[in-house]
Each structure stands twice: as C-alpha cells, then as structure tokens.
Amino acid sequence: MRIAETSDLWWKNAVIYCLDPETFFDGDGDGTGDFGGLIQRVDYLAALGVTCIWLMPFYPSPDRDDGYDVTDMYGVDPRLGSLGDLVEFIRTANDRGIRVIADFVINHTSDRHPWFVQARKSVDNPYRDYYVWRKDTPPNTSDQVVFPGEETSIWTQDKATGEWYLHMFAKHQPDLNVMNAKVRDEIAKSMGFWLQLGLDGFRLDAVPFFLELLGEPKDEAAKIDPHRYLSALRSFLNRRHGRAVLLGEVNLPYKEQLKYFGGPAGNELNMQFDFLSMQNMYLSLARQDARPLARTLSSRPKINPDNQWAMFVRNHDELTLDKLSDAEREEVFAAFGPDPDMQMYGRGLRRRLPTMLGGDPARIRMVYSLMFSLPGTPVLFYGEEIGMGEDLRAKGRSAVRSPMQWDHTGNGGFSTAPPGDLVAQPVDGPFGPAHINAAAAKRDPDSLWNFIATLIQRYRECPELGWGRFDLIKQAAPAVLLHRCTWDGSTVVAAHNFGAEPASVTAALGAASPQEDEEGAPGRPDAKASAGRSYAGAVLRDLLGGEEIPLSDDGTFEVPLDRYGYRWFRVERPGERHLP
C-alpha cells in the first residue's frame, strides 16, 4: 500500500474531537453556546490538529436528555442557531481541513416528536407502528433498565389507549420500530438530508438497542435479520456520499462487536468505540499493572481492513465500567471515585481524567500518550486538551458537560451572559477556569495543550498506528505496556509505564521479516526484501524528543522509563528515508 492510499479511508488515522455546541462557545451572549460561537473557535481546533469534529445532538429538542430526545430530525434547535449557521460552520471547518460528523439518535425520539404525538392518539393511527407497543401487561423488566434509579421498567402504559410502549431509556424517549419499513425509510431520508448539507457521517447512538427486536412477536422477529438493515444503511451512505463514515456506540464483548462491523465483510459500521480496552485501561491504572489492558488488546478479533476501532479515555456519558467484574469495578471505584457521589448507576464514574489522577501531570500525559499510540483512531472529548475537571454539583452525566474554559475571566470566557443565565455553570475550584483555561495553555510551551498537539502531529505522521498490525512485545516488567505497530515495512514501537516507580525494560523485536500490515492484509511486495536482514546499525529513533536507542543485530534493546513514563520510537535502519 502507498501512503497516498491512506486518504481513501480518512477515518483510519483521523483525530476526532467531540463537542456540544450548547456548551462550547456562546457567540450571541444569551448564555447558551451556538453555531455562531463555534465558527469563531474552528481555528482553535485547527491549531490543535483536529481533523474531524463530532457534534453532539443539535436538533430541536425539549432538552430533557441533553438533546438526545429529538423532536425534528431535519432541524437545528433555535437556541443554537439555524440551518444556515450550521452550513456556515461546516464550510468553515472544511476550509481548515476538518471534516464534520454528527450524533444521530437512531434508537428513539422524544415523546413530543410529531410521530409519537400522533401514534398515541389511537391504535389505528398511521404512525402507531412507528413505535413498539404491547396490549398485555408487561413482566417485571427492572433488570433491563438502562438508567437504574431513574426508571423502573422499559414499558410505560399510555393513558389514551391503555397500551404500553417500549422505551429502553427514559419514558419520554419512546423506541422506534426498526421492523417498520417506513421508519427505516425516514431514517435514511434524514441522513441523506444531512449528508447533502455537508456532513461526512454520523456517530450512531445506542446501536444494539435500535436493532433489538424486543416486543415483536417471536415468529415475526425470527424472519428478520436486523444486521441486514444496518448493512443496507451503510450501502445507502456509500451511494449518497462515498466517504461518509458510521461510527457506532456498541458497548458489547468483542465477539458481538464483530457482528456490528459486518463480520469479515466489514460492511456495516465503519468504526466502533473500543469500550473493553478503555475499561481495562482504567483497571490497569488502578493496579499500576499493564497486564489487564495487554490481555484485552490481545483478545481483539481481526477486523476488515476498511474498519477501525475508536480509542478514547473519556466520553460525554458516565465512564462505564460495566464489562469489568464486580470486584474489578470496585478496585477502580476505590482508586478513582470512592465517594458515592462520584459514581453513577452502580457501573460508572462521572469524573474526568485529571481529577481522577489527582492532577499528576506525568500520569495524565502517559494516559494520553497511550491513547494516541494504541492501534485505532483517537477521540478527544472537549476540554481534555487543557485538563478540565468535572463539576460534581451538576446532576448525573452533566458533571462532565460543563462549559468549555476559554480564559480566566467571568464564566471562563464561555459567555458574556449573567451567570444565572448560563446553560451550565463553569467548574469551580482548582480545576476551574481561573487555573485551567485554553488561553493560558496555548501560550505555555509546557502545557498539556501543547503536549497533546504534539501527540496529534506525531500520530498523523505515523500511519503505522492507524493502519498497521499491532503486536505486544514481551518483556518482564508488569507495569509496562510495550507494543509495536508495523505497516508498509515500517515499525513504530511504544512503551508506557503504568507504575509510580521508574522502570527499565529489555526486549527484542525478533527476526527482521515482513509482517502483515493492516489486519489480515499482506505487506507490500517490496517489503519482503527485508526478510532475513539483521538490525545491524539500526536504532530506535525517539519521536517525542528523547534520545535514540541502539538496536543489537538481533533486535534487542533496553528502554529506560520514568515514573509514568512514555516513549515512542520508529525503527530506523541506515539509508532509510523516514520523515524527519
């Protein structure tokens, strides 16, 4: 494969930045962020190195679930601007070389959506089958509730007809009926609309719930393969916009996630978040032992070369730990969220990384270095680049959705409105804007902002990380994760120390022979010329500014690491012409 071909699948080595227009920057001074304000901050994201912006929901909404309760799939919430403002933002971002994708809430609508308003009027209403209903009294489903403590059942009886409607989430978010062809057509039509306006794809919310046939008669459900619909949706996107991407929220074991990629064909979701690696990374952090994460990465299934994992440290929801055992989850709680108010739903944390790590700069940087070096596409949540903390005064998930901290002035520079008019309050205390803000961080060469900007630049210069084959390198230190990514005859090696004590690891790269590049794809033919060559004269060239490390003829090397240390290297032989 040639380097030029990496642009064909842009999502495989993109840098994605998730933000909520509502809390990013207020351009008109009414206390709510908007697209007019977001346009003014595109150059900030371009300077950081972001290549794709992921917009959280901006559609018209009663805003009972931070915009994930949609009333119109074709509009922009008037608090955030207009369709014209959105198009201006997309054009501005594209001009800076940044693509834009958006959340698409595919599983449910608001109960105020015109479809549901009509559907609940009568059992024979034309929109009735847009949702899932049952006539008989449902059994106890408290164990299936997604938000424990907020709902007691996934069914709610509607007074108008006496029937129950399905809602896997809140009762004000009735589930759409995927078996209804009209619903499927409406979803495709609305996606086509946004693609026509300039979006480059979608992050699909709660995909497994949407494809679940719960509530349908068993004989009817048995006739339908919901994955055929997901494949058809992908085909539709490819026809309308050949470079559009579907990034799916699928928090399931790897075996199940493979199905959502489309199996070996890879013809369903282009990308999925790697929840398992994220959760085991936190277990490794809590134990100061890299082995839980190493075991998880080793268990990843092979995926189609066109597919990709999305790597993240923090997202906009609670930091879910649901795939850990009860004992493992308690370890993470004890280390990073011992106060019950820091926990949520008994399965997650409502904290940001810097506060969980006690503000330790070395440890924080090690984690972000790790995220960018692991095979996949890195996803940042707004404010991570400056080290924002959470606001535990806010309810639930809103703790990590406080306004972006732009400077040290009132409201953290987010808005000129009176504090009482703000859509959310800025973080208070040592992680508030008086101490943590973008203006100061950009001007400080030693800041986290500049460190992450460097990581982004190095990541973009290392296609091995997004496209290559991943291998763990054996070594004896339990606290250290040592891995390599090999692509097109080139190898990047990364070392990360999860421990609070310095470490030195000795390891070997093994025989200098060509390896598979991206998952399952053979290397370029001329890469085979390296077969049998020794590492004589080769070095590990440090990519983050440290000293190079010599390699012995058999590929053996020794890497010293500070407490929570991190190193990136590229294997470089005499005469090779890599990027400087």
The helix/strand/coil state of 300 is: coil
Single-letter amino acid, residue 289 = D
The dihedrals phi and psi of 243, each to the nearest 5 degrees, come to -105, 10
| Residue 205 annotated among the catalytic residues of the structure | yes
* 281 neighbors 246 (Cβ within 8 angstroms): no
Name every residue whose Cβ is closer than 8 Å to that of residue 283 and which is 6 or more positions away in sequence. 292, 293, 324, 328, 331, 332
Single-letter amino acid, residue 213 = L
- Residue 575 gets the label, from left (phi > 0), alpha (psi -120 to 50) or beta, of left
Burial 322-332 (b: 16+ CB within 10 A, else e): ebbeeebbebb
Distances (CA, A) of 267 to 3, 178, 185, 305: 24, 19, 19, 11
| Residue 249 annotated among the catalytic residues of the structure | yes
Strand order in the sheet with 539-542: 469-472, 480-487, 490-497, 566-572, 539-542, 549-550
Strand partners, 248: 204, 272
Which tokens in the block code for residue 549? 């490390």
382/379 Cα distance (integer angstroms)? 10
Annotated active-site residue in 200, 249, 268, 274: 249
Question: Which residue is it, tokens 């709902």?
Answer: 151
DSSP string, 398-437: GGG-PPP--SSSGGGGS-SS-GGG-SSPPP-GGGSTTTS-
Annotated active-site residue in 20, 111, 205, 518: 205
- The residues assigned a catalytic role are 205, 249
